[in-house]
Amino acid sequence: MEKEGGKPAAVVAVVTEPRFTQRYREYLEKQKLLDRQHRVEKMPDGTVALPVLGEALPEQHLRELTNRVAPGSPCVLTQLLEPGPSKKARGFSPAQRLCLEVRRWVEGCGVTWSAELEADLPRSWQRHGDLLLLSEDCFQAKQWRNLEPELWETVALALGVQRLAKRGRVSPDGARTPAVSLLLGDSGWVEHVDNGIRYKFDVTQCMFSFGNITEKLRVASLPCAGEVLVDLYAGIGYFTLPFLVHAGAAFVHACEWNPHAVVALRNNLELNGVVDRCQIHFGDNRKLKLSNVADRVNLGLIPSSEEGWPIACQVLRRDAGGILHIHQNVESFPGKTVQPPGNSDTEKEHWLSPQLIITNELENGATSDSGRKMLSAATKPAWQSYAYSQFQNSNKSNRTS
């Protein structure tokens, strides 16, 4: 813990001779006065200092120690200017350590600690280097407002960071702009490394999802050498970069309409050495002028990317078709193992990684350009119906052109 000036906060301690230490400790523990967060210190003159809770030890306890607990023992109060953590404190989880530090600091400010305040502390957070991003459901009690901004310095020190930010709800503006407030620090720019790929972005302007790491690893392992890809919801490069850096895509058209995300995306392309293999299309992807260029289209938007399906089909190659990587929230069935239709290995694999593979030879059971057996349409009926409708529209377009 630190004072506003940056120095460790002093801890009050009772000093006595080593032979009386155990009796002092037992008494202080029984009276719930012993500070378990900080270790007992040996002083330069050979005496021992036992940290206690609060700003001072009441006089009646000093008399009790010298008259009854350890008669004739020397007993004085001191301040430990640089108290060390106890073994127990070092073994605490970050959330437990945060609770201990904040409680001690709050009580030192003369505010009564309560179950309401403890329940209002964060239990989890996102760490981006020296910046910690707190969730929106913490520090909501009115009492915290009177303790700012020093409160945030205490929280940051307890969790070993220099900057703090707090998340609000994602703005329903289509650009998925996060409502993030910077609580401590001057800048929201951070760097995160995922699977060897560097992402830099401003947490107050751009989202970063840790939850899609499984999909990012999967697409990074795909054999995309020589392929052209269109990423309709590129963001800061969540999937654009894995396709370029690891999957070996020849070129990516990255579509994004959040100007802050575009700045970060351009920076990230340069950071990872792939800027010459990507073109950024800034604006509404529904107005994209591209067509007949893509081997794959990534539709990484949840809860649904359905609005992007028409343009995704538009940009697919007309001669060989391609793959749509569709992201969408789907229904689950708790307690049941859902089996895919059919029992072929191909269909089971497709069930685990739903994709639409569309070609102009779909009805003939042809193989895709990679030589694999054409997968059946996605298991969701709406996807299957959409795929065939687009196939029919494509055939009509080819006949009239």
Specify the number of domains making up the chain: 3
Given pLDDT bands bounded at 50, 70 and 90, which one contains residue 81? confident
Alpha helices in 76-230 (DSSP H): 87-90, 94-108, 115-119, 150-159, 213-220
Using N-to-C axis directions, what is the helix angle for 150-159 and 94-108, rounded to 10°? 150
CA 127, CA 122: separation in Å to the nearest integer?
A: 13
Residue 119 lies in a domain: yes
Q: What pLDDT is recorded for position 79? A: 86
The model's pLDDT over 132-157, given as tens digits with 9 standing for 90+, comes to: 999 889 999 999 999 999 999 999 98
CA 396, CA 393: separation in Å to the nearest integer?
A: 5
Given pLDDT bands bounded at 50, 70 and 90, which one contains residue 348? very low
CA 57, CA 11: separation in Å to the nearest integer?
A: 11
Q: Which of these, 162, 1, 24, lies nearest to 83 by C-alpha position?
A: 1
Q: Is 395 a residue whose pLDDT tops 90?
A: no
Mean confidence (pLDDT) of the chain: 80
Residue 358 lies in a domain: no
CA angle at 278 for the pair 273 and 282, rounded to the nearest 5°: 125
Decide: 251 and 223 in contact? Cβ < 8 Å.
no
Domain extent for 279: 209-326
Same domain membership, residue 244 and residue 289: yes
Q: Is 101 a residue whose pLDDT tops 80?
A: yes
Helix (H, G, I), strand (E, B) or coil at 368: coil
Residue 40 lies in a domain: yes
Highest mean pLDDT: which range of 74-78, 122-126, 263-267, 352-356: 263-267
Residue 197 lies in a domain: no
Q: Is 42 a residue whose pLDDT tops 60?
A: yes
Residue 383 lies in a domain: no
With 0-12 CB in 10 A as exposed, 13-18 as middle and 19+ as buried, what is 128?
buried
Same domain membership, residue 116 and residue 71: no
CB burial of 164-198 (b: ≥16 within 10 Å; e: otherwise) equals: bbbbeeeeeeebbbbebebbbbeebbbebebeebb
Q: What pLDDT is recorded for position 256? A: 96
The residue with tokens 């220099």 is 162
Given pLDDT bands bounded at 50, 70 and 90, which one contains residue 2? very low
> How far is the first Cα of the chain from the last one, in angstroms, to the nearest whole number?
73
DSSP-assigned beta bridge partners for residue 190: 201
Highest mean pLDDT: which range of 170-174, 207-211, 271-275, 305-309: 271-275
Element (H, E) at 399: helix 381-400
Same domain membership, residue 132 and residue 52: no
Residue 317 lies in a domain: yes
Given pLDDT bands bounded at 50, 70 and 90, which one contains residue 330? confident
Rounded average pLDDT over 275-283: 96
Among the three residues 326, 358, 373, which one is the final residue of a domain in this structure?
326
In the structure encoding, which two tokens stand for residue 20, read together? 């009386």
Q: What pLDDT is recorded for position 390? A: 61
Q: What CATH number should be reported for the domain holding residue 125?
A: 3.30.300.110
Q: What CATH number should be reported for the domain holding residue 19?
A: 3.30.70.240
Among the three residues 326, 341, 356, which one is the final residue of a domain in this structure?
326
Same domain membership, residue 129 and residue 64: no
Given pLDDT bands bounded at 50, 70 and 90, which one contains residue 359? very low
DSSP-assigned beta bridge partners for residue 131: 128, 163
Same domain membership, residue 146 and residue 71: no
Residue 368 lies in a domain: no
Given pLDDT bands bounded at 50, 70 and 90, which one contains residue 220? very high
Among the three residues 300, 326, 352, which one is the final residue of a domain in this structure?
326
Rounded average pLDDT over 113-136: 90
Query: Which residues neighbour 295 within 8 Å (Cβ) at sequence distance 6 or greater?
Result: 224, 227, 228, 229, 317, 320, 322, 323, 369
CA 240, CA 249: separation in Å to the nearest integer?
A: 9
Same domain membership, residue 301 and residue 215: yes
Same domain membership, residue 214 and residue 321: yes
Question: Cα dihedral angle (214, 346, 244, 194), rounded to 10 degrees?
Answer: 10
Q: What pLDDT is recorded for position 382? A: 64
Same domain membership, residue 307 and residue 273: yes
Same domain membership, residue 105 and residue 36: no
Rounded average pLDDT over 88-110: 85
- What is the side-by-side strand order in the sheet with 125-128? 125-128, 131-134, 163-167, 180-184
Distances (CA, A) of 219 to 18, 242, 273: 64, 7, 19
Q: What pLDDT is recorded for position 363? A: 32
Same domain membership, residue 99 and residue 77: no
Q: What CATH number should be reported for the domain holding residue 295?
A: 3.40.50.150
In terms of pLDDT, which residue wins out, 88 or 106? 106
Same domain membership, residue 101 and residue 77: no
Q: What pLDDT is recorded for position 263? A: 96
Element (H, E) at 267: helix 259-271
Residue 64 lies in a domain: yes
* Residue percentage of the chain with pLDDT more than 90: 49
In terms of pLDDT, which residue wins out, 374 or 231? 231
In terms of pLDDT, which residue wins out, 168 or 180? 180
CA 176, CA 170: separation in Å to the nearest integer?
A: 6
Decide: 145 and 139 in contact? Cβ < 8 Å.
no
